[in-house]
Structure 1
Amino acid sequence: MATETALLSHGRRGVVGGPVTLVLHGGGPGCHAASDFAAVMAARPDRAWLWADLPGYGRSAAAPGPRLTAAARALLALLDGLGVDRADVLAQSYGGSVALLVASEEPARFGRLVLVGSTPTATPNGVAGLLDTGLGTRLRDAYAGDGRPDATRMRRLIAGAEWWDGDRVPDALVEARFRADRAAAGAPGVPEDLGDRLAHVTAPVHLVWGRHDPFAGPAYAAALADALPRADLTVLHATAHHPQSERPDAVAALVDAHLRT
């Protein structure tokens, strides 16, 4: 069940007690952790999951300031408020960038990280041209640029950019995303580029990538792995930007392998 306080909207699943695995969602319209990672969390009920909705998403209030910095500050306030001194992380896209910023500045807060399709910089390891920097804006404009978003457009967005097999997108996921987008606190700003922070991330990171991710393909993922001091990479075939929803069993297995190492 979600908790709504002055802190970020959040909730817990799985076992009570034990090492915490923090779950952070991506940055698309209507993204929120409880929905985006529902299947992964259900597949591993033996883990102590803590999911959080970042500022401006789900039921979390928007936060002033640079997008990633404000989200990182709010996330640390949540962890402090809950008495969570240290956590492992499972995050997707935008949420992974927030986690990398925290890990670069406060390395004691996170143990191991599993990051799915995260693009924290336009030039990973100094390599340009691997990221479609305008795709997110184009998708948002197609979905809600005229101020008339609806569930049909949400389905089109998910099927066209987030899932490799768009015909398999569940109705329940479309509805959950559309409801969450309608309740969101505000449109996101442009995230800061973290290229100069990646070398400071000392935590072990496992990057999980969809072979057909339209935002950035496996070449971007490989360059990002090279930019991080302790990173491995797994590329999943027949998967796009949201393998945690499209192939949750594969992602859950990778989480097990990395977080229990």
Structure 2
Amino acid sequence: MDLMDIQAPPQGAYAEADGVKYHYIELGTGSPTIFLHGGGPGCTGWSDFGQVAPLFAAGRRCLLVDILQYGRSAKPVIEGPMWDYHAAKTVALMDTLEIDRADFVCNSWGGTIALNLAAKYPERVRSLVVTGSMPVFYGPLAPLPEGGRRGRNARDVYYGGDGPSLTKMRELMARLEWYDPEAVPEGTVRLRYEQSLDPEETALAGASDNPRGDWQDLTAELGTIQAPVLFMWGMQDAFLTPDYPLMLARMIPKGNLHVMNEASHHLQEERPYDFHSVVDGFLNQRHG
């Protein structure tokens, strides 16, 4: 395995964006590159990309953003279409940080946000790298595992019963996010667990209504995306096998797919050097 230890997160900074407060960590200088993390319990920009971002920061301005409702960012109740909300607020964050156009490197939940952003605000996106995201609810493997609710069910189990614990976090990551359960790093388990204890985050996870907004299917949006998109997928992804991103890549005019063996849902953590090698090569192409 191509593993490296995660370091303690830097202090980070805050930015107001259209009435909400974002927390982000900035590393390096150069072409702006925004990292958006996944939607698992306790996920943050640093927990999902802290192992690989220093590699990108050698030649890029990297912004590891805590998406809304996660990490140290604001946790508003979202009403209306969820991906439209996140896309608009992310663009507002770019405005605050005076970033006209950026590359995006995203995992799962964050990737769906970025795909919608690229469709609705094409002038703001240079290129996209998307791992483990589910922007549409059908595909060659339908019905999806657990009716497409595997992530929701995992959150319910994690926050249910006796509540969060280090053991439950380790088991969740080993079962759904990592190819080799023995390689799950204890530092990341602890970071995720400690963040999952945030009272606002716990309240959102346990709410009986729909505080995350209305789900959107992005079929129509995918066909309008003009930015080059690279789907980076783990061969052993626990949610969707590579047949699914192959379908997505064919729906996008400039879609590409790279499948990495011995990797599951968080390949940027499992194989950071290999992930960086492929993704950095893609980002440095002449995308315009």
Q: Same fold (TM over 0.5)?
A: yes
Name the aligned partner's letter for residue 269 of structure 2: S
**Deviation, structure 1 residue 57:** 0.4
In 2: Cα distance, 1:32 partner to 1:160 partner: 19
Contact persistence 1:21–1:89 (CA under 8 A): yes
Equivalence for 1:105: 120
**1:90 equivalenced with 2:114 (yes/no):** no
Contact persistence 2:141–2:244 (CA under 8 A): no
**Deviation, structure 1 residue 146:** 2.4
The TM-score with structure 1 as length reference comes to: 0.93
Q: Which residue of 44, 51, 60 maps to 2:64?
A: 51
**1:257 equivalenced with 2:274 (yes/no):** no
Deviates more, 1:128-137 or 1:79-88: 128-137
Equivalence for 2:32: 20
In 1: Cα distance, 2:222 partner to 2:162 partner: 37
In 1: Cα distance, 2:44 partner to 2:278 partner: 21
**Deviation, structure 1 residue 216:** 0.5
Equivalence for 1:123: 138
**1:242 equivalenced with 2:255 (yes/no):** no
**Deviation, structure 1 residue 199:** 0.4
**1:223 equivalenced with 2:247 (yes/no):** yes
Equivalence for 1:36: 48
* Identity value in percent: 36
Unmatched 5+ residue regions in structure 1?
A: none
What's the CA shift string for 1:72-95, capped at 9, x where partnerless? 122111111110010001001110
Contact persistence 1:26–1:93 (CA under 8 A): yes
Name the aligned partner's letter for residue 144 of structure 1: Y
**Deviation, structure 1 residue 250:** 1.3
In 1: Cα distance, 2:258 partner to 2:168 partner: 31
* Alignment of structure 1 residues 174-213 onto 2, 5 Å: 174-183=189-198, 185=201, 186-187=204-205, 189=212, 191-213=215-237
What's the CA shift string for 1:14-67, capped at 9, x where partnerless? 22xx21011000111111111211121122322210111111000111232232
**Deviation, structure 1 residue 5:** 3.9
**Deviation, structure 1 residue 130:** 6.2
Contact persistence 1:123–1:195 (CA under 8 A): no
**Deviation, structure 1 residue 123:** 2.3
**Deviation, structure 1 residue 145:** 2.0
What's the CA shift string for 1:120-154, capped at 9, x where partnerless? 11125xx5616431211221122112251111100
In 1: Cα distance, 2:276 partner to 2:162 partner: 37
In 2: Cα distance, 1:140 partner to 1:42 partner: 29
Name the aligned partner's letter for residue 194 of structure 2: R
User: Greater share of strand residues, 1 or 2?
Assistant: 2
Name the aligned partner's letter for residue 123 of structure 2: A
- What secondary structure is seen at the aligned counterpart in 2 of 1:9? strand
**Deviation, structure 1 residue 239:** 0.6
**Aligned pair count?**
257
- What secondary structure is seen at the aligned counterpart in 1 of 2:173? helix
In 2: Cα distance, 1:120 partner to 1:226 partner: 14
- What secondary structure is seen at the aligned counterpart in 2 of 1:206? strand
What's the CA shift string for 1:157-209, capped at 9, x where partnerless? 00000000011111100011111222254336363211121001110001000
The TM-score with structure 2 as length reference comes to: 0.85
**Deviation, structure 1 residue 232:** 0.7
Structure 1 runs of 4+ with >4 Å offset: none
What's the CA shift string for 1:211-237, capped at 9, x where partnerless? 111110011111111111111101111
**1:11 equivalenced with 2:21 (yes/no):** no
- What secondary structure is seen at the aligned counterpart in 2 of 1:11? strand
